[in-house]
Structure formats: C-alpha cells, structure tokens
Amino acid sequence: METVIRGIAVYVILLAAMRLSGRRTLAQITSFDFVLLLIIAETTQQALLGDDFSITNAVVLMVTLFGLDIALSHVKLWSPRVNRLLDGAPTVLISLGKLDEEAIRRSRVGLDDILEAARAEHEVERLDQIKFAVLEIGGAISIIPKEPPKRPDEE
Amino acid sequence: MKHPPIRSDGLQLEEPRTFQRFFWRLERIAWCVFAFIVLLALLGLTGAGGPFSRATARFSAGSLEYPRIGRWLTPDELRIHPDASGEPILVVLDSDFVESYELQRPVRGRRSSSGFGPGRRAFPPSRSS
C-alpha cells in the first residue's frame, strides 16, 4: 500500500514542480538541464522505493506509475481544461511579424532563441523575415517565415 | 471532432490568453513558494540541521534539547543537560512517543534503564556536560 501512495505522491509533486517551474526548464536539453534531470532522478529514487529494494516493490511501483500515466491521459482527453492545465497551451510569440513582448517576456524566451529556431528550421536570417513564431507545448519554437527562402538553384 | 479556431491573423490554433496570464502568475507564485521552502530548509525548519532545527525545554533539574522537526527513518538525538547539582534525573517517555520512535540506548553514562509497563521506559542518565 505504501508503495502506491509513495508513487502517486512523488508523481504528483514532480509533475506540479516541473509544470510550475516553467515549460522552458526541461524543454531543450542543455548540459545544465541534463545534470538537473540526473539529480532529480537520483533524488526521487529513494523517496519512491523507500528502504524496500525487492522486485515486488519495484513492480508495484512501475505498475502504479504506468497506471497513473494512463489514467491521466484519459482525463486529459475527457477534459480540455485539465489538459490545458497539465500540458499547457501553445503561445504565439510573433504574429504577422509583430513581436508579442508580453508573451516573450513571460514565457522566458529570448529573441536569440527565436532566431536560432528560425535559422535551424527555415534558414531565415533576420527577425523581420519571420511571420509567425509559436512556442509549442513541448517547449520547441516553430517558425513560419514570411516567404519561403529561395534555393540557390532556383535563381 | 472539434477543430481549433482560426485566429484573426490566420493561425489555426487555440491560445487562451486569459488562461496563459493566470498560469504565468501561478508560476511566479510557485517560484516564491519554492524560494520559501528553500529558506525554511536553510533555517532548519524542515529538520536535519540548521539554526532553528533544535529547541530546548527547561525542567527543574536541567534542560532537554530536542529536534523541532523529526524526519521519517532518520536518527535524531534528545540531549539532556543536567544542572550542576548532580542530582539524578529520571526521564519518563510517553507511550505515544515510544510507539512512534525507535529508541536506542542512551549514549554516555548509561547506568540503568528499567521498564515502566507497556510502552514506557525511563533512562536515568548521568551528567554528560
């Protein structure tokens, strides 16, 4: 019984902490994020297992976590509000070439992050060539350029 | 199947700005709570060391130093500081206490310990400081 309670408690706490620390935290894995992830994994391990290292305990815990995950995905499908609360919603950072400063500041995205995504995805050179920039739920920035860049062989 | 609405700028996605603003504010509040928890821990108010982690209670023949917050499965110490008079001190532990804590024998100067019925024990420690 204790394992199930531990599993649920740690899952809920971790979910809340991750969600509330902001979507950018673990979205794009930098070396810092990697270290953070490792430490969190190590820290939660003991709280999850307690002092019982039996296979039974591990199986109960795994089944609990999988069960929670499945249950949550059903709840999310069933209620859009819960879905939004747990997964968040996409944020439009640039709309028709106009920067939404509030959104950019509040979601802690730098202009260089937007430019990086633009360069990587669409070979866009400057900010004014971006029509839309959207911070997606997963933390990635998707870019829609103003006009598709010409390929050298098309000229 | 419900389709996401098309915004005035032509993007087909649902961006509930009211909810976003609420959540951004919630995030900021949560960060304050995180900082508060760290502060509490640094002050020792979550147990396991720190300036305010231990408290002292006085009684007629000395004082008792005890941890304010105990942690599950973590050993802790009750320290008894007898007064200079050197009179023996009889420590009686409540049965509730003995049920929730596992007692180990007193360190330094253990003379005798005797049972007081179920769940009660007494340790007369000698002078330790």
B57 phi, psi to nearest 5 deg = -115, 135
Q: Do A98 and A83 reside in the same domain of the chain?
A: no
Q: What is the mean pLDDT of residues A107-113?
A: 84
Q: Do A56 and A101 reside in the same domain of the chain?
A: no
Q: Do A7 and A52 reside in the same domain of the chain?
A: yes
Q: Do A83 and A95 reside in the same domain of the chain?
A: no
Quote the pLDDT of residue A28. 63
A6 contacts B72 by C-beta, under 8 angstroms: no
Minimum distance, in Å, between the CA of residue A20 and any CA atom of chain B: 5
Alpha carbons within 13 angstroms on the beta-carbon side of residue A3 total 17
CA–CA separation, B32 vs B29, rounded Å? Answer: 5
Q: How confident is the model at residue A62 (pLDDT cuts 50, 70, 90)?
A: very high
Q: How confident is the model at residue B35 (pLDDT cuts 50, 70, 90)?
A: very high
Instruction: Decide which of A61, A87, A113 is a domain's last residue.
Output: A87
Do the interacting molecules here have an ipTM over 0.85? no
Q: What is the mean pLDDT of residues B26-32?
A: 91
Nearest to B43, CA basis, from B34, B52, B33, B55 = B52
Q: Do A54 and A95 reside in the same domain of the chain?
A: no
Q: How confident is the model at residue A150 (pLDDT cuts 50, 70, 90)?
A: low
Q: Do A24 and A66 reside in the same domain of the chain?
A: yes
Q: What is the mean pLDDT of residues B31-46?
A: 90
Q: Is the CB of A145 inside 8 Å of chain B's CB atoms?
A: no
Cβ pair B20:A92 closer than 8 A: no
What pTM was computed for the model? 0.70
Contact residues on chain B for A89, CB-CB shorter than 8 A: 14-16, 19-20
The domain total for chain A is 2
Q: Domain of A74?
A: 2-87
Cβ pair A92:B15 closer than 8 A: yes
Q: Do A22 and A78 reside in the same domain of the chain?
A: yes
Choose between B83 and A82: higher pLDDT. Answer: A82
Choose between B86 and B31: higher pLDDT. Answer: B31
> In three state form, how does the secondary structure of chain A look?
CHHHHHHHHHHHHHHHHHHHCCCCCCCCCCHHHHHHHHHHHHHHHHHHHCCCCCHHHHHHHHHHHHHHHHHHHHHHHHCHHHHHHHHCCCEEEEECCEECHHHHHHCCCCHHHHHHHHHHHHCCCCHHHEEEEEECCCCCEEEEECCCCCCHHHC
B105 contacts A83 by C-beta, under 8 angstroms: no
Q: Do A12 and A81 reside in the same domain of the chain?
A: yes
Contact residues on chain A for B74, CB-CB shorter than 8 A: none
